[in-house]
Structure 1
């Protein structure tokens, strides 16, 4: 039976968006910047609620600075959509017409010799166009200079992430009852996508189904391999629900697993638990990676754990901060990220277990809580 989408959390208000823009402008000033230039993408959606219906070659840019009101520059033909955005009440709107120079319009919003953070999603042609119009201006990557831009979630955002995680969990509990043996990876991936949508996801971003040797490729895309009895199968799936991400991984065995497969799965389970257990305010991001990696390294599989332990999640499924060696950013309550160690035995099989976790004053809270023991499927 198809389930209906659950009632959503409260809508973000103009006040919410104004508070975000004000806080980010102050953060930019504290970082020694003159402001931010935010182009279409997740940063713009998070700051204003505005997502152009189509991202084109026409310049759209939100300019934020501590000493002037937030201004959104849009193509004239897209102004009605911008005016309808949830956060439009906190913005000054400017438009530019086709056959005119958008960078000339932008010049009045940008200090001629200022330094600005620019969205990572900005088109190079737009950054170069601004540099041509303002040759003494300077631009830096948003992630590089303001990595905590969206990292700490408020209660409304946490509710959305929790709902997305619960929907992903419900999807897993259903997928373990479908037939695996004899079907293509793409068949199971289609089941995952369908189940995520039935449980409320408006967008499915990925459905990794890595069976047998394909499971040793962490980002394997489901393909035409026919799943066989005896395969270990890595399932990694997620998308957006209420505008916020889900991302979970479990590894199942099609029929009875080998003793080695059971052993490897248990090592990964213990590593994942160690990573989650290390989450608490004040601990650096790299310590989460170290805690999980130590379990796998001590078991003799360190060379087969070939990626970071985790990534942030919010309006995108991958965003800062990252749980990786060298990331010294301390954890603070409201941060949300994955904990997903894995072991990958080339040409044979892989195992990964992943939960989304948020930091609370008392330690970790998981947004995924399905069984982490090795499940046997048909």
Structure 2
């Protein structure tokens, strides 16, 4: 393929970076080495955007470099094979019944292997997509795969075990316990195909040596993978069997130097270097084919490229980051093209540096592939033939950089003016606000001091102008920086008069129109002041010809549609929570009490970037649970339990609310059946979400899928989310409000376990309504129950 053809294939299609509605896609970039002033940005797999949105999230990719085929494991429990040259979907591979976690091509590219939480490996013919067989032998979901260069296949599962296979044999050659907890990543040595490395949640790296004369003999030795945190990724040096790179959960990238001994199975560590820069989990590391470049991808939204030609002194060469595109929780950079050019190593670095400030990448990077440089000189990385092509598989998640903390005065002005327009329509002179969410929404005042119940806080939104704050003196300085016109104070606590006289003075000084003031008196509202004080205030206002009426409608409808920045806050919270939920099997174990599990989950949420976790419920019981609102207990988790974790995390005061279910040991069949029905019911609702659909129609769709009464019986099956954990409107059979772009929802179907035991299951996903449909904010729950 010539340079001109490559430019036509990849470079001619430019993507408008402002088109935020295109969610879930593959991206292809290329660097043309002979033109350092040229780079070609994003060719699109157009057919990918025509697929149902539920199939778009991609968990893993692999590339057949000679045959130019891309394999992608999607959230729809399918594997897609794409023709990279034509950018067309060739075939969809179906057969797995659980989430597909990894895909790998054999070294000769004739076979594709896929592994799943359904505990199987499926083999496919690359050219046609025809199934070649199913490998069974694991007793837990399978997380990762690796092919050796001489045809062996190794697999690692979520219960610490490895299995070694010959591709044509449905039974494993050998299975053995490798780590404590999840096996996260595998890599066969390119320099010595008899050596493989595995890494796990226990923070260790294990080297395994396969005896070719006695295939049932596998020797191995383990060493630490860094600082004790879980090791998530591993790559072997292509030329030196004694060098391995690993990525850690704490953001560390480590180069380990060891002396492998295949005869004894020992791996004696001789040294190590830490490459510092990432601030969050490093989900993938990969050496270039030359061995002098190392790439690492992280949850901090960056891909970093390191010069490791001198392994004792590695240096950072380039950083790829994007503040514009909404990209995925899963990104893979995996494709390299045939040998085209010869350029010096330094010139290759120059081309990479061109991207440093172009902000081409953003995502929580979970998968990363080889950078295409072949080593042509004997030493020193002196000559390459290179064509960089980066294939990104993208999910509908924004990077943290898209979120701005706080509320701008422009946004607050818009909220106040919208409320004032509604007030004019309802003939209200002002609006009295007393509760945390409403005061924050209209003034930007955000504080934990709301936890002190002895002091009321009052904000008046007049018919014209900015709000007025009537607050205790302790809040004067904070409110002076809020979006208010003036601050009136009193020295609280003052039992005889907790600001009532001051509030009365402000209200009666306002221009009198109808004499009606709106207050938080209706459904979904509450007053945060003593009822006796409110009654006294009403009596005194009456002497001035003024009165209170219900202003709930104004507040609810003003807060209903979220701005881009509000959505970004919810989405960022959801992303952090999704990352935490994915690690629950490594954190919550049999024998823990519900309280211990709940506290561990809270720590995990905070470690993933959530500011606070005001709401975390952990309940479990034999086969299932009987409530999802009670406090956790001292009851110990045991085999046969079903556990629900329902959490509302916050970032900058904005909630994301969704739950996840986990089984302690294999779940009962009736529980599995109910979970599958709930998964399908959620899909039924998601397919209905678009502007114009009524909330009651979402309820009807889920009820119909579950086979329950469409007129109620289980309360609601979801709600809105924002500054409060649950907001109006609810997904309820009587709710006639229509969906609009900018609404944020939690879709939450539930169903009883058969038998009349009073136990049930509930699932939940967070979504935002878009112009044409919806976008998932939470990472979609797996189709089968995580064990």
Give the structure-1-normalised TM-score. 0.89
Give the gaps of 5 or more residues in structure 1: none
> Contact conserved, 1:342 with 1:353, CA < 8 A, in 2?
yes
Number of the residue aligned with 2:565: 156
Q: Which of the residues 460, 472, 478 maps onto 1:75?
A: 472
RMSD: 2.7
Cα shift at 1:297:
2.4
Number of the residue aligned with 1:307: 715
Larger mean CA deviation between 223-232 and 143-152 belongs to 143-152
| Structure with higher helix content | 1
- The answer to whether structure 1 residue 60 and structure 2 residue 457 are counterparts is yes
Aligned partners of 1:126 and 1:23: how far apart in 2? 29
Aligned partners of 1:220 and 1:58: how far apart in 2? 29
Query: What is the DSSP-based 3-state SS (H/G/I as helix, E as strand, rest coil) of the residue aligned with 2:618?
Result: strand
Distance 1:126 1:335, change over 3 A: farther
Cα shift at 1:147:
2.6
Larger mean CA deviation between 49-58 and 322-331 belongs to 49-58
- The answer to whether structure 1 residue 35 and structure 2 residue 442 are counterparts is no
Distance 1:37 1:365, change over 3 A: same
> Contact conserved, 1:41 with 1:121, CA < 8 A, in 2?
no
- The answer to whether structure 1 residue 334 and structure 2 residue 742 are counterparts is yes
Q: Which of the residues 80, 89, 114 maps onto 2:516?
A: 114
Cα shift at 1:341:
0.5
Which structure 2 residues correspond to residues 211-230 of structure 1 after superposition, within 5 A?
A: 211-212=620-621, 215-230=625-640
Count of residue correspondences: 372
Query: What is the DSSP-based 3-state SS (H/G/I as helix, E as strand, rest coil) of the residue aligned with 1:332?
Result: coil
Cα shift at 1:51:
3.7
> Contact conserved, 1:216 with 1:350, CA < 8 A, in 2?
yes
Q: Which of the residues 587, 601, 605 maps onto 1:196?
A: 605
Distance 1:287 1:304, change over 3 A: closer
Number of the residue aligned with 2:97: none
Q: Which of the residues 655, 662, 669 maps onto 1:252?
A: 662
Q: Which of the residues 334, 358, 361 maps onto 2:771?
A: 361
- The answer to whether structure 1 residue 133 and structure 2 residue 534 are counterparts is no
Distance 1:134 1:76, change over 3 A: same
> Contact conserved, 1:232 with 1:350, CA < 8 A, in 2?
no
Aligned partners of 2:453 and 2:664: how far apart in 1? 45
Query: What is the DSSP-based 3-state SS (H/G/I as helix, E as strand, rest coil) of the residue aligned with 1:263?
Result: helix
Cα shift at 1:182:
1.7
> Contact conserved, 1:234 with 1:350, CA < 8 A, in 2?
no
Number of the residue aligned with 1:240: 650
Larger mean CA deviation between 355-364 and 342-351 belongs to 342-351
Aligned partners of 1:279 and 1:320: how far apart in 2? 17
Cα shift at 1:150:
1.1
Larger mean CA deviation between 289-298 and 181-190 belongs to 289-298
Give the gaps of 5 or more residues in structure 2: 1-248, 252-278, 281-299, 301-399
- The answer to whether structure 1 residue 208 and structure 2 residue 620 are counterparts is no
Cα shift at 1:281:
0.4
Number of the residue aligned with 2:328: none
Larger mean CA deviation between 214-223 and 226-235 belongs to 214-223
Larger radius of gyration: 2
| Structure with higher strand content | 2
Aligned partners of 2:689 and 2:587: how far apart in 1? 34
Higher relative contact order (CA 8 A, sep 6+): 1
> Contact conserved, 2:458 with 2:469, CA < 8 A, in 1?
yes
Distance 1:62 1:43, change over 3 A: same
Aligned partners of 1:376 and 1:69: how far apart in 2? 51
Cα shift at 1:129:
3.3
- The answer to whether structure 1 residue 231 and structure 2 residue 641 are counterparts is yes
Aligned partners of 1:183 and 1:305: how far apart in 2? 34
Aligned partners of 2:654 and 2:780: how far apart in 1? 20
Query: What is the DSSP-based 3-state SS (H/G/I as helix, E as strand, rest coil) of the residue aligned with 1:10?
Result: coil
> Contact conserved, 2:711 with 2:733, CA < 8 A, in 1?
no
